[in-house]
Amino acid sequence: MGRRTKARECAFQLLYQSELTGEQMPRVIRAFWEVRSGTAAMRAMAERLATGARSRVAELDAAIAAAASNWRLDRIAPVDRTILRLGAYELMEESETPAAVVLDEAIELAKRFGEQDSPSFVNGVLDAIRKRVRVSSGREAERAGAARERHGR
């Protein structure tokens, strides 16, 4: 598993723990790194993604609710909601990361931590958000199409 993939997994775990416990992110981060290890770069990326997503949760939830037609946010499983928040944050704020990479990584998190239908649900919601927040250049659109093909969607 690559450093950036591991960082996203850790960011997901940090966000999920904060969501379930109600603890503030600095406390969650401190406790998390007491039992986990990682390179400085991986830790920095994980913390940047987790704190960024946590600080903009209302905006992210609005984008998710708009993209998840026929789903109330409180009816989305906590694991899926956390993956969606992380992916939506990265689509909105980490513009140097190609959208296809963000979608691929979120789908992989959904496969690993979610239910059977989670990967396709996460893909659909994040793809709708991508269409709204990223200007699709030809190359970006090609990457997104390749990601959907790889995951059979």
Give yes or no for a contact between 31 and 94, defined as CB atoms under 8 angstroms apart: no
Q: Within 1-153, where are the H helices?
A: 3-21, 25-35, 40-55, 57-67, 78-93, 99-113, 118-133, 138-150
Q: Identify the structural domains of the chain with CATH numbers, from first to last.
A: 3-150 (1.10.940.10)
CB atoms within 10 A of CB 26: 11
pLDDT in tens, 39-86: 999 999 999 999 999 999 999 999 999 999 888 898 999 999 999 999
Percentage of residues in the chain with pLDDT exceeding 90?
Answer: 79
- pTM to 2 decimals? 0.86
Q: How far lies 93's CA from each of 15, 50, 52, 71, in Å?
A: 16, 12, 9, 24
